[in-house]
Amino acid sequence: MKLAQIRHILDTEGIRLTKSLGQNFLHDQNQLARIAQAADLGDTDSVLEIGPGLGCLTSHLLGGHRTVMAIETDNRLVEFLTRHYASNPQLQIVHADALRYLREHSGSWQDWKCVSNLPYSVASPILVELATHPSPPARIVTTVQTEVAERIRSPHGSGDYGILSLLIQAHFEPGESFKIPPPCFFPPPNVDSTCITLHRRKNPILGPGEFPTFSKIVKRGFSQRRKMMIKLLKADWNIEWISALLDELGLDPKVRAEQVSLDQFVRMTQGLMQAKQNHDERRTI
């Protein structure tokens, strides 16, 4: 769908874009094709698209025998998509708030690929919800604000490294990415955009039941970036356990969260869980 078509549809349908919903439609056909290509879609893949808008990307995702589920919150756009794709049974349009839908979805996304131009206002929580789902998608290809893409793929020691980096990287490995200039959208956003690909880890780095503790440690550790981790973590765990773990991991007692790698956070999680288990077992004897 080209820019002239988008303008015509909006005028004909009497649709005024809502800024709070982050409605910036990508119309550049080359960029849309690059996004679909990054997803490496097979003929029988199941595809999740969040925020389809007028279906600019949707048309690039449909094909073969694959199924596309498109979640859209704007009733006006749902009505248009329903009419526009009425003859295509491969597209399932879901009228819902995507974040709420994902939180309430009890099924598995394991065999799905998520390919979306996410609304910037809710991109981070949606990605975290997908990444931390018990059965997350095999691949996520998404266009987000460049600042968010940098935070997702950032390594430890960087100023962009933080909660978002760790919660997503615990389950996905950041892959290829490319920038999309503002004029490729209508209306052009006031921020830079980047399409980033995330590959689900073939070998999980967290064991069953370890993620809640991992998440708690990460969020506590970054709750005050300038403070030493040991002072923050002692609110939830025995300071002697923390000190012993920092020493075991070769970390300075004054270390801050941004200096701790993903692997070290994982090992810290496992160490604190083991220490608590040992403590609880001694109390029951």
Cα–Cα distances (Å) from 170 to 97, 122, 133, 281, in that order, read 26, 20, 12, 29
Residue 236 in tokens: 């939830």
pLDDT of residue 206: 96
∠ CA 91-96-101, nearest 5°, is 95
pLDDT grade for 254, boundaries at 50, 70 and 90: very high
pLDDT of residue 105: 87
pLDDT of residue 13: 87
The rounded distance, in Å, linking the Cα atoms of 185 and 54 is: 13
pLDDT above 80: residue 203: yes
pLDDT grade for 247, boundaries at 50, 70 and 90: very high
pLDDT of residue 172: 98
> In this structure, which CATH number among 1.10.8.100, 2.30.40.10, 1.10.10.10, 3.10.620.30 belongs to the domain 211-284?
1.10.8.100
- Does this chain's domain 3-200 share its CATH topology with 211-284? no
The rounded distance, in Å, linking the Cα atoms of 188 and 198 is: 25
Q: Where are the domains of the chain?
A: 3-200, 211-284
Q: Are 223 and 246 in contact (CB under 8 A)?
A: no
Mean pLDDT for the chain overall? 94
Query: In terms of CATH, what superfamily is 3-200?
Result: Vaccinia Virus protein VP39 (3.40.50.150)
